[in-house]
Structure 1
Amino acid sequence: MLRSFNPCRLGFCGVKWEKTLEEMKKLPIGIQSINKVLLNGDYIYIDKTLFIKRLLDEGAPHYFLSRPRRFGKSLFLNTLKEVLSGNKELFRECAIYESDYDWKHHPIIHLDFSQIPNKNPELLETGIKETLEDIAASNQVTITGSSNKTRFKRLIEKLSKKNLVVILIDEYDKPIIDQMHHHSIAQENREVLKSFLETLKGSDDYLKFSFITGVSQFSQVSLFSGLNNLKNITMNPKYAEVMGYTEKEIKTSFDDHIQAIIKKRSEQGRSTTEKQVLKELRSWYNGYRFTRSEAYVYNPFSTLNYMDEQETSPYWYRTGTPSFLISQVKKTPETITTLRGKSILDTTLSHASHIEKVGLAPLMFQTGYLTIRSYNPEEDSYQLDFPNKEVEKAFFDSLLKDFAEIDPLMVQRDAKELLADLRELNLSSFITKINIHFAKVSYHLFSHAQEGFYQAVFFTLLEASGIRTVAEMATNIGRIDLICEMEHATIIFELKLDKTADIALKQAEIKKYQERYALDGKEILVMGVNFSSKSRNIGEWKGKLFCPSGGLKKELYPG
């Protein structure tokens, strides 16, 4: 049926043409096949093919790239596979189509370690063997050998008789990440992988190109130590936007879906604008930065699901509970209070080689729970923070549930009142509410608990309530335990266990912590807080409120 002419639907009258769901391009949620995405032009595709052209032009034999899970690694590898298979016509609408790439066909060995069993090294060895045999059979060759290393080498050599071979390895570190709670198995799996991947070292004469992806870099050093010519592009500014969506890509490729969100909310009586939708999208799913350059990208998985569901939700976070992170927190609870704003050297951030020694902050960066906020060239260091609302909120909810064993909903219900108490410096009410939540912490968690545990619970309760904090802030003569920046006041907490509030407050006074904020034009509250292992909560507190000029305004204490 023909539609009646409507000039506004054609873009006149200052009104955008609202497409129906049938007219809009589909969202490629969960699709890892570039052939399915591009073949009929039905799906949105953010064109990353010029990055592939750049990789091939650079001519390095082996590349490594780390990105968080569900960030587009598998789709990128599948795109590499189709390009290097010479499937030119598939990319007719992509930038690489008009380039000078030669589109020669190369045999492909594609190994996806997310599909190979890894509960123990024996299963891992068997899975690799079966995968190699399947690849050989699909290429009409047979392979033999007493080890996977030998089979891999012979497969490469046989396929190279057709043309130089391309090696694509996805999620190389899955056998390690999955077993991090069993260090011995993780170490044994790493040795299996190390031996297997050493095959690439002596195969350059048979290879066109190899590309390896994973979530982490912590095992990269020892795993690929034999590959002296491995080029790690994980933190290379030239590839900062190789995965994830940029702000420009969001605006140009998802405009129809953004308009659909506006229309739906309008029909629900929730009037909104394009600017508001973009702001919501940005605060929830943008903020990932992987290099020194100030290039930020959106989480592609969450962005696609947001466009589909048309509401915010922790889509990426809830696809994989970070149990290995919670395990790390339980071992060293004091480390979580320093996550926000933590500065870390480049070598520590990206080149830790021991599973059992990897720090919480590098691990959270590599797995996508922290991101780069700024870079200090003088120190060659990075300052880290949570990338966006999705990760920040969901992570602290997980800490409440799995670390402190408190129902996040109970904290959420009190969050507004807790925040209001702190803003208004209603400290007795604030401490009372905190202690109510401490009473909900499981009894067994306090067994042998040190000061770091109490600080971690306190920090988690604040963050889960929407109270932004910074810990371990350095001054010229010490480190402040915890700082909350409110609209009209800066609150400094000095925290102790089984001492006194006087001792805590005296330490803050001696070290003159308030002087760091004396020129900010806000009041400064310095609080001494003492946790009691007997009552298992905040036993005592005292505070001093200073004027913006630095003079003492009044003392604060219970009663």
Structure 2
Amino acid sequence: MARLKYPIGIQDFREIRTKGYHYLDKTTFIHRILTEGKYYFLSRPRRFGKSLLLSTIKEIYSGSRELFEDLWIADHWDWDKRHPVVHIKFAKSDYQGLGLAQAIFNELDKSAAELGVTLSKATFKERFEELLMVTTLAQGRVVLLVDEYDKPIIDYLEAPEQAKANREVLKQFYSVLKDADPYLELVFITGVSKFSKVSIFSDLNNLNDLTLHLQYSTLLGITPEELEKHFGEVLTQMEAKTPDIRHWVRRMYNGYSWDGQHHVYNPFSILNFLSSSSLRNYWFETGTPTFLIDLMRKVGRFVWNEDEFVALLDLASFDLERIDPATILFQTGYLSITELNEPEGWCKLNYPNQEVRASLEQLLLAAYQYRIGSGLPTVLELRQALERNNLDRVVEIINTAFSDIPHDLWKGATELHYHALVHLTFSLLGNYLKSEVNSSLGRCDAIVQTATHIYAFEFKLEQSAAIAIQQIIDKNYLGPFQLDTRQKVAVGINFSREKRGVDEFDWQEIA
């Protein structure tokens, strides 16, 4: 089998097709979009192929049939049907240095130069109108593609006033489209977030939002079927070294869903894995906005309840004045739909896979510890201590996790940080040992299994280790493991506000 070239991070369709990179044919979806409508919007997380989708559409309308040989659309499209394309890429514009209005002005001039037309109007709004009208008169109706429309806002979430100012500029920009229908063949706008229509698209009420559209839930990403069809041989070769590799790949990278039924892999993560054969956390390496972590710590969110109902109206609309953690976690890809009920207007969410869950929990653990980087070293040290049955070291590590919390937070939000650090530490431990963390009342705080021991941990605040151990015994938390021959141990740990850490701990072997 010839070694495949994986298009990792490549967003240009022409480059993929001319330089021998592997392309998963999504042109049946694209053909349906281009022939069944005119105004589209699509929200997906980063690294999901939005830019490649727009690049593909651009080449179709440019008549580049040679790039589509062996793809479905090659024999299903009128290649004489060409239209001028205005392709605006906000990620490439210098709005941070020039200001958004000037950056848009420059983008319009760049498009005009590519299309061979001359513009003379003074403001970016007038210039946009002029570009659409002049181009249509000279070359035919325009295909407008806008990539990462929301980036000038998302990049300034930590500077709300600038974010709001950029939002107003974008609102003016898109308002041009309200009366531009005679000049437009197609409009396709993509981004990570979906801002409420009143915020940006108030004058553009005919956008067909494909974000939760059932027919397009697998438009981007790689389905399990596509993975087997295109890369099954690669996985089979890996099985010689790791027999259960398919299980680990599914657990690590699969699970994104926008309808609760069909699931896809993030292309960036799965292609990186296929290229390197390494089950690493590639999502973590693409970066997580500090704003998201700060927001979750601010609202005290460190665990997601998979049975929680979320209104679709809240999920589909990002509002600068009222940022809902569920909305931003879903839109940025940290949560995915597990159950969808459109008639009743709700869904349920959960982490899509282990890669994403671990990424977020590591960053949250570090944030609650007030440390730079991830919280992974703490978890690995804890694993080592448990594997050695060294409970004194376990308590020392837990104390260290609490030691950097500022004194004023122990006076105020003590219980929040106490619960957050305990939950996140033991949840992440589950990646390396069999560790189950519960948050509902009446269940053990943590069950950890090593090769030789099964530990039941119960944590208390301003009580005693004895009370914690007695609760483990009274509620028979270790009962399900009665037939297991490993040594069973109840561990009670009590925290103190005054000491800002563990005040007392004790353990007891359970027969």
TM above 0.5, yes or no, is yes
Structure 1's 360 and 484: CA in aligned 2 closer, same or farther, altered over 3 A? farther
Matches for 1:200-239 after TM superposition, within 5 Å: 200-219=177-196, 222-239=199-216
Aligned-partner SS, 1:93: coil
**1:458 correspondence with 2:422:** yes
Cα shift at 1:402? 3.7
1:157-188 deviations in Å (ceiling 9; x for gaps): 11112211111000111111111111111111
Cα shift at 1:288? 0.8
Paired residue type of 2:103 = G
For the residues of structure 2 that align with 1:102 and 1:358, how far apart are their CA atoms?
45
Report if aligned partners of 1:128, 1:148 keep a CA contact under 8 Å in 2: yes
For the residues of structure 2 that align with 1:526 and 1:239, how far apart are their CA atoms?
50
**1:172 correspondence with 2:149:** yes
Q: Which residue of 1 aligns with 2:222?
A: 245
Q: Which residue of 2 aligns with 1:336?
A: 302
Q: Which residue of 1 aligns with 2:256?
A: 288
For the residues of structure 1 that align with 2:85 and 2:205, how far apart are their CA atoms?
23
Structure 1's 289 and 469: CA in aligned 2 closer, same or farther, altered over 3 A? farther
Paired residue type of 2:350 = D
Structure 1's 27 and 412: CA in aligned 2 closer, same or farther, altered over 3 A? same
Q: Which residue of 2 aligns with 1:375?
A: 340
Q: Which residue of 2 aligns with 1:394?
A: 359
Paired residue type of 2:334 = Y
Q: Which residue of 2 aligns with 1:437?
A: 401
Paired residue type of 1:47 = D
**1:136 correspondence with 2:101:** no
Structure 1's 258 and 222: CA in aligned 2 closer, same or farther, altered over 3 A? same
Cα shift at 1:376? 5.0
Report if aligned partners of 1:261, 1:307 keep a CA contact under 8 Å in 2: no
Paired residue type of 1:366 = Q
Cα shift at 1:526? 12
The farther-off stretch of 78-87 and 322-331 is 322-331
Paired residue type of 2:418 = Y
For the residues of structure 2 that align with 1:58 and 1:443, how far apart are their CA atoms?
60
Paired residue type of 2:327 = P
Aligned-partner SS, 2:190: strand
Report if aligned partners of 2:302, 2:364 keep a CA contact under 8 Å in 1: no
- Unaligned 5+ segments in structure 1 are 1-18, 474-478, 546-552, 555-559
Paired residue type of 1:64 = F
1:26-61 deviations in Å (ceiling 9; x for gaps): 111121111121236x221101111111112222x2
Structure 1's 530 and 305: CA in aligned 2 closer, same or farther, altered over 3 A? same
**1:39 correspondence with 2:18:** yes
Paired residue type of 2:159 = H
For the residues of structure 2 that align with 1:480 and 1:183, how far apart are their CA atoms?
42
The farther-off stretch of 295-304 and 278-287 is 278-287
Q: Which one of 349, 356, 369 corresponds to residue 315 of structure 2? A: 349
For the residues of structure 1 that align with 2:437 and 2:220, how far apart are their CA atoms?
30
Report if aligned partners of 2:369, 2:401 keep a CA contact under 8 Å in 1: no
Aligned-partner SS, 1:374: strand
Matches for 1:35-114 after TM superposition, within 5 Å: 35-39=14-18, 42-59=20-37, 61-101=38-78, 103-114=80-91
Structure 1's 412 and 99: CA in aligned 2 closer, same or farther, altered over 3 A? same
Q: Which residue of 2 aligns with 1:150?
A: 126
For the residues of structure 2 that align with 1:314 and 1:399, how far apart are their CA atoms?
16
Structure 1's 481 and 514: CA in aligned 2 closer, same or farther, altered over 3 A? closer
Aligned-partner SS, 2:40: strand
For the residues of structure 1 that align with 2:108 and 2:147, how far apart are their CA atoms?
14
Cα shift at 1:196? 0.6
For the residues of structure 2 that align with 1:374 and 1:440, how far apart are their CA atoms?
39
Report if aligned partners of 1:287, 1:297 keep a CA contact under 8 Å in 2: yes
Cα shift at 1:210? 0.6
Cα shift at 1:137? 1.3
For the residues of structure 2 that align with 1:319 and 1:147, how far apart are their CA atoms?
36
For the residues of structure 2 that align with 1:494 and 1:220, how far apart are their CA atoms?
46
Paired residue type of 1:335 = R
Cα shift at 1:132? 0.3
**1:537 correspondence with 2:507:** no
Cα shift at 1:220? 5.3
Structure 1's 530 and 521: CA in aligned 2 closer, same or farther, altered over 3 A? closer
Cα shift at 1:391? 1.5
Q: Which residue of 1 aligns with 2:485?
A: none
Paired residue type of 1:322 = P
Report if aligned partners of 2:223, 2:263 keep a CA contact under 8 Å in 1: yes
Structure 1's 538 and 371: CA in aligned 2 closer, same or farther, altered over 3 A? farther
Report if aligned partners of 1:480, 1:493 keep a CA contact under 8 Å in 2: no
Paired residue type of 2:248 = E
Matched pairs, number:
493
Aligned-partner SS, 1:316: helix
Q: What root-mean-square deviation, in Å, do the aligned CA atoms of Structure 1 and Structure 2 show?
A: 3.7
TM-score (ref. length: structure 2) = 0.84
1:236-288 deviations in Å (ceiling 9; x for gaps): 111111111011111111234335545xxx6xxxx333xx2222221211111
Report if aligned partners of 1:87, 1:103 keep a CA contact under 8 Å in 2: no
Matches for 1:485-496 after TM superposition, within 5 Å: none
Aligned-partner SS, 2:95: coil
1:121-161 deviations in Å (ceiling 9; x for gaps): x6111111111001111111111223211111110111112
Report if aligned partners of 2:490, 2:508 keep a CA contact under 8 Å in 1: yes
Paired residue type of 2:399 = N
1:313-372 deviations in Å (ceiling 9; x for gaps): 12232122331211212322x212345554322122222x42242122221111011212
For the residues of structure 1 that align with 2:142 and 2:22, how far apart are their CA atoms?
31
For the residues of structure 2 that align with 1:101 and 1:538, how far apart are their CA atoms?
72
Report if aligned partners of 1:217, 1:350 keep a CA contact under 8 Å in 2: yes
Paired residue type of 1:272 = T
Structure 1's 314 and 219: CA in aligned 2 closer, same or farther, altered over 3 A? farther
Paired residue type of 1:29 = I
TM-score (ref. length: structure 1) = 0.77
Structure 1's 124 and 139: CA in aligned 2 closer, same or farther, altered over 3 A? same
Q: Which residue of 2 aligns with 1:413?
A: 380
Paired residue type of 2:255 = G
For the residues of structure 2 that align with 1:483 and 1:373, how far apart are their CA atoms?
25
For the residues of structure 1 that align with 2:26 and 2:385, how far apart are their CA atoms?
46
